[in-house]
Chain A
Amino acid sequence: MAMFRLRTDAEAWFSEIEKTQHVRSKFDLYYFCLMAGFASGRSSETHITGAGSKEFIDYFIDDYKSASTLLIGLLVIAEMKYKGIDVTEKTSVRGLFKDIVDAKNGNNQLTEHGMKRMNAYASGGFEYLAQKRDTKPYSIEEFLRDYVALIGDALTPA
């Protein structure tokens, strides 16, 4: 079964803030990366298999359960942009949902392909964050403020 994967270099990059009590699980780090991927539209499949990343869980943990459907929705939106699918193309939109959503997968409601793409956006999002910041984050307080600003920058057309 496909699982959420976090890049090992991302884990090392977040290592200082991961120690704080505010980062409760690896899913927080994954989510930081994923949202940056959705915001910037960057996805990268280079590091989502093999030793460059590590599976850590196969379900949305409690902290993200209520947001899980929205995250799947954001994945659909990102993929529509990535594949150039017009929102009026019913067959393509329907096909995209079928590619991504597996309602019978009670753990995360994602197909293998859906999980692969989710992990690709988390991977691309990490690249975006690492590129935009001069150094790895050392303080969670400062990172949170920078992070939200970086997400804003990514969403605002230049």
Chain B
Amino acid sequence: MRIDLAGWSSSGLRTPDIEIDLLDRNGEPAKVALIQMPNGTGKTTTLELIKATLSNEAASWTPDQVRRLRRRHDTRAEGQFIVKLLVNGRPLTFELTLDFENGVARYRTTNVGSGGIVTGWAPSPEVHQFLSPEFLRLFIFDGEFADELFDPKKAEADRAIDALCQLYLLGEVSQFAEEEWERRSKASGPKTDSGLQRYLNEQTALIKRRDELQKMDSHASREIGIHSKEIADLEAKINQRLASMKSTQAEHATALNALGEAERDLLAATSAAMTAIRMPLAMNAAFGASLVELKENLDLLRLPENTSAQFFEELINEAECICGREMTSGARHEITTRSKRYLDADESGTINALKSDIDKFTASQGEDAPDEKLAVQLRSLGVARRAQHKAEQLVRTLKQQLIDEGDEQLKAWEAALDEHKSKHAEFRAVIDSIAGEGHPDDKPIFSLKLIERKLKEVSAKIAEITETVTLRKQTDILKDILFRAATIARGQIRDELVVEANQRIKEILINDPLEISKIDRSLRLAGQDGASVGQTLSVGYTFLMSVLNRGNNNFPLVVDSPANPIDGDVRENIAALIPSLCTQFVGFTINTERPGFVLPLEKAAGTVKFLTMFRKTDGTARLLPGLPVTGVVQTESAVLVEDRDYFMSFGLKDEKEA
């Protein structure tokens, strides 16, 4: 299957009223399209709306979420966002209408050739699976997702492999088998057992609770996204205020530098300390001393002995014992019993390995002892932590200073920031609880894992009562086979992807010896715990593009600020690779990303669709006379220009003021 993004349009929403067409002159999706939008034009909101329109996500939005997207001072009762796709070349359009008065979202789907216009979100079954929020984030990509690819607690790297290499199909077969068993068990014979109805009710209640928790989880995730964005915006505004006021400007710059440095030092020191702690001998010299004592005592006891249990097992087959006496059945029995007290060859091997490891790890190699090294690392950690506290304290003092001087706006921002942080923590707790193990006595249950465990138990009981035990067992065997097949396939794909991605990373990060050591749910880097933002994004990109390139389905790759946190040389190398790794690339950029990125991308792609968009404001009115003669679309709220030269010359000053 190939899905292309043909374009989108927005009206009456926080994003400018505009229609974006991503098709080239031949009516084919442009291989590469860059949309330059100055900060404040609504890049992030546009991406959110694209995702929401494609995924049916808005159907479960709260009235507040719907109204949040209303443009300020706009009196229209509705806003609309339309996304046009091409599925194997055939148009599929989703319309999302936000009713601000009633706080609800409505969908309409137009599927040319099959079904026409349908009320609601109604993609055909074969497309349906690719439009879930989880799947969409694989090709509508942002920095946050790049971070998650490295988070060992999340399995985003594995999910990407499952989604793009279609391993999810095995899960679907498994689910089908489970549903079929449920259907059979419900339809089986007269339900004479009085307990059956109770178990069926329990099963229904558990399934209902599972659905509720999944909705809660999804709602909390969305809320976290909203509050994270608000927190980031408010922090940026507060920092901007501190940096722009004369009384705090200089000290704020110093504090920010000190904070950045302290955070980098802290990351490095914590990573080093954690790595050291994973070796028991580093934690305290007493562990090493007791192991050395153990080894010395084993040597004194001559353990393991030269005589192994196998010697006695062979001896009982002899006619005579080693002492010359006849091997009677009594002697055989006694020798067999006593031989069990001796170590066998394998056990002896383990003890020898232990002794050898004790020698190896406790031997002085002319360096500081591991515990002394750890002590130094922990002292550095303490120093970095104090420096971080000091810098944070200074920033807090500067904020308070401005508030004391009567800065009401800053005070309001601070209050709003606290509010969003508290909400963020609240929703995070909900997600943690849903992802947690739960306790069997919890009522109501807040853990999805616990629900699954209970469902399994209830299913077994139902199977027993409805005499579908054999089918239950067969279903379990089938599910087990499917699970193992997916595990084995995922393992092989992981190994191949590590090789492929590392090959590309080598080309991209020429000056940076970074390597993926393995994929174990998440991406693991060789020899380091953390990575810079640029490194994370570069490796995340490369990994995702390698998976996209490998799968049988083709999707567009839509990226917010594709080059922003990436350094010059790396930008060029990534840009040169992009066209060969995906069928369609759509990048939302700001003009500072152009250097080192756009030209290599254009060179590799052949042609690029260059779009520049800005809001119509008093500040941008002076840009209007300089617009090109052709390729300009103006609406009441925005200007869209399709022109390479205009794109290339849209200056820093213009953008800052736009």
Contacts and interface: CB of A to CB of B under 8 A. Distances in A.
Interface of A: 8, 11-12, 15, 18-19, 21-25, 28, 31, 35, 38-39, 51, 54, 62-64, 66-67, 69-74, 76-77, 87-88, 90-91, 93-95, 97-98, 101, 103-104, 109, 140-142, 144-145, 147-148, 151-152, 155
A95 B350 CA distance: 14
Most chain A CB atoms below 10 A, which of B287, B298, B341, B524: B287
Main secondary structure of the interface of B (DSSP, over half): helix
A70 B153 contact: no
Most chain B CB atoms below 10 A, which of A94, A140, A142: A94
Given A22-B271, A141-B270, A74 B287 contact: yes
B131 to A, nearest CB: 30
B351 A22 contact: no
Contacts of B382: 145
A63 B278 CA distance: 7
Given A51-B439, A140-B270, A93 B303 contact: yes
Contacts of A63: 278
Main secondary structure of the interface of A (DSSP, over half): helix
A93 B342 CA distance: 11
Contacts of B274: 22-23, 28, 140, 144
Contacts of B277: 144, 147-148
Given A12-B436, A18-B153, A90-B303, A76 B278 contact: no
Nearest to B384: A141
Interface of B: 150-153, 266, 269-271, 273-274, 277-281, 283-284, 286-287, 290-291, 293-294, 297-298, 300-303, 341-344, 346-347, 349-351, 353-354, 357-358, 361, 374, 378, 381-382, 384-385, 432, 436-437, 439-440, 518, 524, 529-530
Contacts of B343: 94, 97-98
Contacts of B357: 69-70, 73
A97 B436 CA distance: 37
A144 B353 CA distance: 30
Contact of B283 (A12, A76, A151): A151
B290 A31 contact: no
A31 B286 CA distance: 17
A25 B522 CA distance: 11
Contacts of A90: 301-303
A78 to B, nearest CB: 9
Given A94-B342, A98-B343, A19 B278 contact: no
18 contacts: A18-B153, A21-B530, A22-B274, A24-B524, A28-B278, A69-B354, A70-B291, A70-B361, A73-B294, A76-B294, A88-B297, A90-B302, A94-B301, A97-B351, A144-B273, A145-B381, A147-B277, A155-B284
A21 B341 contact: no
A105 B206 CA distance: 39
A142 B301 contact: no
A8 B437 contact: yes
A25 B152 contact: yes
A103 B280 contact: no
A103 B290 contact: no
Contacts of B287: 35, 38-39, 70, 74, 155
